[in-house]
């Protein structure tokens, strides 16, 4: 099993810490190295104190790609800032090719750079052209519950956004249902989603006792959800999405509401819950629960808990997940597992820490 050698780029942020934590216990991972230029030669635990005594190693100033040449399966996780990988990847591909690595490396990108598969959609969503549009079509969207078949054997994987993950998990079992019409999604997230460096929305004095909406009806991850809906021939659905910042550190709680179509047959909480259970029967990281999901039941884990409620034709689907695990590093590992033909939940069947 010990075949994978993994490099983590941009490993000093929260995603890098969770990747180091998860990969250190992965039975198929033989060795991990991590890059952070500002923290070069610094032990991992100096930046990620929870790894003290558990994950040994120091940050590299720059990657030494020769280290991967002898690996039976080289893997690169990129946790670089937005558009950094896209700008660097054409040159990296040339370096990897010169070492015989380009066709062997499995690259998993945790940024938004390659989530949208069309340059026009990227430009419309982000307000600027993509730095390397010719590479977009090479990436597989890394939501295993939707793209599992395409992820098998994939060499380039783009992790989904954390909000997009939650909303898509809420919609996948019903996305092909004709006539859902308006879909109203809202989601609450913790401060860790904004990164490790303090800012106006993450600095404790301005976050701890506040609750606010941000980027209402214009969040870029809405485009990812639209792509999924169109792929399910649901182009007539009208999606609205409003994210919120809450005084939490980790977690996303999403609520998605819509009207069940009049010609769609009867719907009830029990019947729709059974529909979701059937859909996710082969998805080990999704748990369909009764009542309302709780963030405290998933924080620190790669599980997404989902429940449904109905009143007449009105449907509400609720999803709770950890934005840094199922919404980020854990899902990256889950996608890698699928790509390598490993059990999907390898190294990920860890319970949340309750109470948290």
Q: Catalytic residue numbers?
A: 162
Q: Which residue is listed with tokens 């979701």? A: 276
Sign of CA pseudo-dihedral 25, 328, 173, 144: negative
Phi and psi at 259, nearest 5°, equal -100, 130
- With CA atoms as reference, report the closest residue to 339 among 141, 148, 169: 148
User: Can you tell me the distance from the alpha carbon of 17 to that of 163, in angstroms, rounded to the nearest whole number?
Assistant: 20
User: Can you tell me the distance from the alpha carbon of 263 to that of 261, in angstroms, rounded to the nearest whole number?
Assistant: 5
CA 218 to chain centre: 19
Question: 34, 44 in Cβ contact below 8 A?
Answer: yes
User: Can you tell me the distance from the alpha carbon of 245 to that of 334, in angstroms, rounded to the nearest whole number?
Assistant: 27
CA 348 to chain centre: 14
User: Can you tell me the distance from the alpha carbon of 104 to that of 3, in angstroms, rounded to the nearest whole number?
Assistant: 13
- Crossing angle for the helix pair 162-171 and 222-231, to the nearest 10 degrees: 30
Question: 140, 156 in Cβ contact below 8 A?
Answer: yes
User: Can you tell me the distance from the alpha carbon of 322 to that of 186, in angstroms, rounded to the nearest whole number?
Assistant: 16
What residues are paired with 258 via a beta bridge?
Answer: 183, 315
Contacts of 215 (CB under 8 A, 6+ apart): 243
Q: Which residue is listed with tokens 């792929």? A: 231
User: Is the backbone of residue 136 left (phi > 0), alpha (psi -120 to 50) or beta?
Assistant: alpha
Q: Are strands 73-78 and 140-141 parallel, antiparallel or unpaired?
A: unpaired
């Amino acid at each position: 099993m010990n075949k994978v050698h993994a490099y983590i780029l941009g490993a000093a942020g929260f995603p890098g810490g969770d990747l180091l934590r998860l990969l250190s216990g992965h039975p198929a991972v033989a060795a991990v190295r991590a890059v952070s230029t500002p923290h070069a030669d610094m032990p991992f635990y100096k930046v990620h104190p929870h790894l003290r005594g558990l994950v040994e190693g120091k940050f590299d100033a720059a990657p030494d790609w020769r280290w991967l040449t002898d690996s039976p399966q080289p893997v690169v996780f990129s946790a670089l800032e937005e558009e950094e990988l896209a700008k660097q990847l054409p040159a990296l591909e040339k370096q990897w090719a010169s070492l015989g690595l380009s066709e062997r490396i499995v690259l998993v990108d945790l940024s938004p750079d390659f989530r949208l598969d069309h340059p026009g959609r990227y430009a419309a969503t982000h307000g600027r052209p993509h730095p390397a549009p010719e590479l977009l079509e090479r990436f597989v969207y890394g939501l295993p519950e939707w793209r599992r078949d395409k992820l098998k054997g994939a060499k380039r994987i783009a992790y989904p956004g954390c909000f997009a993950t939650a909303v898509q998990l809420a919609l996948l079992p019903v996305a092909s249902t004709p006539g859902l019409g308006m879909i109203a999604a809202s989601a609450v997230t913790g401060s860790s989603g904004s990164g490790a460096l303090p800012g106006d929305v993450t600095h404790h004095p301005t976050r701890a006792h506040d609750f606010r909406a941000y980027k209402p009806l214009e969040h870029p991850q809405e485009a990812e959800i639209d792509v999924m809906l169109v792929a399910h021939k649901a182009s007539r659905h009208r999606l609205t999405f409003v994210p919120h910042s809450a005084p939490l550190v980790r977690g996303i709680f999403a609520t998605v509401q819509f009207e069940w179509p009049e010609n769609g047959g009867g719907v009830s909480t029990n019947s729709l819950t059974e529909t979701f259970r059937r859909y996710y029967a082969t998805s080990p990281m999704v748990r369909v629960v009764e009542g309302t999901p709780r963030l405290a039941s998933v924080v620190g884990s790669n599980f997404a808990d989902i429940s449904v409620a109905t009143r007449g034709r009105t449907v509400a689907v609720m999803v709770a997940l950890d934005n840094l695990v199922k919404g980020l590093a854990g899902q990256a590992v889950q996608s890698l597992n699928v790509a390598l033909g490993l059990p999907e939940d390898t190294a990920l069947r860890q319970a949340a820490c309750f109470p948290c």
